[in-house]
Amino acid sequence: MVMEINEIDDLVRLKCSVQTYDWGIPGNNSLVATTYSANCDCEIDENTHYAELWMGTHASGPSYIKGIGNVSLKSWVLNNPEVLGDVVVRKWGLDLPFMFKVLSISRALSIQAHPDKELAGFLHTLKPNVYKDANHKPEMVLALTEFEALCGFITFKELEAVLESVPEIMEVVDQVLPVNAEDGEEKQTQFLQSIFVKLMSAESKVVSAAVTKLTTRLNMEKKTRQLTSKEELALKLENEHPQDIGVLASFFFNHVKLNPGEALYISPNEPHAYLDGECVECMATSDNVVRAGLTPKHRDVKILCSMLTFKQGAPEILKGVSVNEYTKRYNPPFEEFEVEQCVLDQGGSVVFPAVPGPAIFLVLSGQGFMYTTSSSSAPSSSSSPLLSPSSSSSSLLSGDLVRGGDVLFAPANTEVHVSTESELRLYRAGVNHLMFLKT
C-alpha cells in the first residue's frame, strides 16, 4: 500500500513485536510487558517472561502500521522511500538503519559479541539459520533502572590480581603468568588472548569441576569475610547457569553498574553480557550474536575468541548532553543511531527539530500531545494511523493524545512538537546527527 504524498510528513503509529526469552522479567513486573500491552491493547500473561520490545524493521520482530491492515513498517518504508530521506537512502538503502528496543532483564544474558560487517557477511553465508542477516550490530543501552553488565576486558593489573585470587582459573588453563606490568601492551594483550582462549576452550568436565570448587570455596569464605562484587557475581551466575564456563570467564570482564540515565555502548567484536535491570537499547539493524557462555543457545567459542579485539580497560559511560531543559542526547561513536531522552514536567512543551533522517518515538509513561509542523493544515481522520493536530493546532496543547506504550515513526525532515499537562517521559531514536554534518 502506497500512502499519499501529502500524508507521509506526519507521525505514524506503530504496533510492535515482543520477544519472550527466559531471561526476561515475568508478567506485570516487566516494563516490556506493560509497554507491549499498552501498545497492542493485549493482556499480560503472568507466567510469561517478557524480555524485549522491538521497534523497527528487522524480520525477526517487525513493527506494523496501525490502522491500515497488515502492513509492516519495512514494506511501507520500501514503498515510500521519501520517509528515510535522501542521505539515508544513499548510505543504507531502502531500510531503517537502526533498531530500537526496550529490555527487561531478570537474569544474565549470554557472554557474547556482535560481528563487524565483514565477519557478519561471512557468518550469514556460512550459517544463515543462525546469523540471519549480513549487517554489523554496534549497540547502546540507556538505563531506565539500576542496570548491570559485563563489558570489555579488565586491565592487566586487574588481571594479575584475578589470577592470584582465583586459583581455579589457573588450574583450568594450567599456565603461569609469563608477563608482568612492565612488559609492553602487545605482550600483555597476547597473554590475555592466550589465557582467555584456553579457558573458553576447556573441556566441560574440567570447567564443571573448577566451578564447583570455586563456589564451594566462596560459600565457605563468605562466612568469615565480605566477598568482592565479582565473587558475589560469580555465585549469582552459577545459580542461574550451573557449572557454566561463564562463571569463570566473568572475572575477566569489567563489571559495569549504570544508574538510570547513564548509557553504555558496545562496539563490534567487544565481549559483553547484560546481567540485570531495564533499559532502552538501540543498535544497527541486525540480530547477529556470537555466544560462548551463560546460555543454552548455540555457542561458537572458536569464532567468538577469534573475533574479539581484547581491548583492556573500563568502558566509557555516557551521561548524556543537554539539548534543552527537558532533553538529553546520547551519541555513541556509530553513524546509524543516537538516542534522546525527554522528560516533560507538567505543562511543559518541547520541539524536536526536523532532521534529514527518520526517527522512532517511544512514549514510556504519562500522556500528552504530539503533532508535526508540516501536518498543521492536514485534516484529522479517525481511521488514519497518522497523527494529525486538532483545529487548535496553534497551541502546543493540541494534536493527538499520546500515552505510555505509544510508538510513533517520524519521517525525515519532520519537526515534532510535544506537550503535556502531566509528566511525560519519552525516548527518540534516530540516525546520529553527526553523520548529517559530514554530508
Could you report the per-residue pLDDT of 255-306, keeping only the tens digit for each? 999 999 999 999 999 999 999 999 999 999 988 899 999 998 889 999 999 9
Cα 249 from Cα 294, distance rounded (Å)? 10
- Say which residues have a Cβ less than 8 Å from residue 266's Cβ, sequence separation at least 6: 114, 138, 139, 140, 141, 151, 272
The torsion angles phi and psi of 159, rounded to 5 degrees, stand at: -65, -40
Say what the pTM is: 0.91
In the predicted model, what is the mean pLDDT of the chain?
90
- Running DSSP on this structure, what letter comes out for residue 123? H
Given the C-alpha cell 520500501, which residue does it identify? 78
Domains of the chain and any CATH numbers: 98-328 (1.10.441.10), 337-437 (2.60.120.10)
Q: At what angle do helices 204-221 and 229-240 cross, to 10 degrees?
A: 130
pLDDT for residue 392: 34
Q: Which three cell numbers stand for residue 160?
A: 594479575
Cα 262 to Cα 330: distance, rounded to the nearest angstrom = 9
Cα–chain-centroid distance for residue 35?
16
Residue 181's pLDDT is 62
Judged against a pLDDT cut of 80, whether residue 375 lies above it is answered with: no
Banded model confidence at residue 380, pLDDT cuts 50, 70, 90: very low
In this prediction, residue 174 has a pLDDT band, given cuts at 50, 70 and 90, of: confident
pLDDT at position 168 is: 96
pLDDT of residue 436: 87
Rounded CA separation 424/410 (Å): 18
The mean per-residue pLDDT over the stretch 323-335 comes to 96
Per the CB < 8 A criterion, the answer to whether 281 and 332 are in contact is no
C-alpha triplet 244, 180, 230: angle, nearest 5°: 30
Mapped onto helix, strand or coil, the DSSP state of residue 308 is coil
- Of 160-164, 252-256, 355-359, minimum mean pLDDT range: 160-164
Considering the chain, what percentage of its residues have pLDDT values greater than 90?
80
Q: Helix count (H) and strand count (E) of the chain?
A: 12, 25
Mark 49-79 as b/e (b = at least 16 C-beta within 10 Å): bbbbbbbbbbeebbbbbbeeeebbbbebbee
Asked if the model's pLDDT at residue 131 lies above 60, the reply is yes
Is residue 231 over pLDDT 70?
Answer: yes
Q: Distance of CA 287 to CAs 15, 129, 293, 346, Å?
A: 20, 12, 18, 38
Q: Mean pLDDT, to the nearest integer, of 414-421?
A: 93
Q: What is the pLDDT of residue 382?
A: 32
CB atoms within 10 A of CB 332: 22
Count CB atoms within 10 A of the CB of residue 321.
11
Closest among 258, 220, 253, 223 to 237, alpha carbons compared: 253
Q: Which of 189, 396, 175, 225 is nearest to 308 (CA)?
A: 189
Cβ atoms 350, 416 nearer than 8 A: no
Instruction: Dump pLDDT digits (tens) for 144-157.
Output: 999 999 999 999 99
- 185 or 315: which carries more pLDDT confidence? 315
For 4-40, the pLDDT digits (tens) are 433 455 899 999 999 999 999 999 999 999 999 999 9
Q: Which one is catalytic: 107, 291, 299, 329?
A: 291
133 or 214, which is more confident: 214
The question of whether 291 is a catalytic residue gets the answer yes
185 confidence band (pLDDT: 50, 70, 90): confident
Alpha-carbon torsion (67, 72, 73, 78), positive or negative: negative
- What's the pLDDT at 226? 96
Summarised one tens digit per residue, pLDDT across range 79-91 is 999 999 999 999 9
Give the per-residue pLDDT at 374: 53
Residues in the chain: 439
Q: What is the DSSP letter of 227?
A: P
Which residues, other chains included, contact 73 with Cβ-Cβ below 8 Å and sequence gap of 6+?
12, 14, 56, 57, 62, 63, 64, 65, 96, 409
- pLDDT value for 176: 63
Q: What confidence score (pLDDT) does residue 358 get?
A: 97
Read off the pLDDT of residues 238-261 as tens digits, 9 standing for 90 and up: 999 999 999 999 999 999 999 999
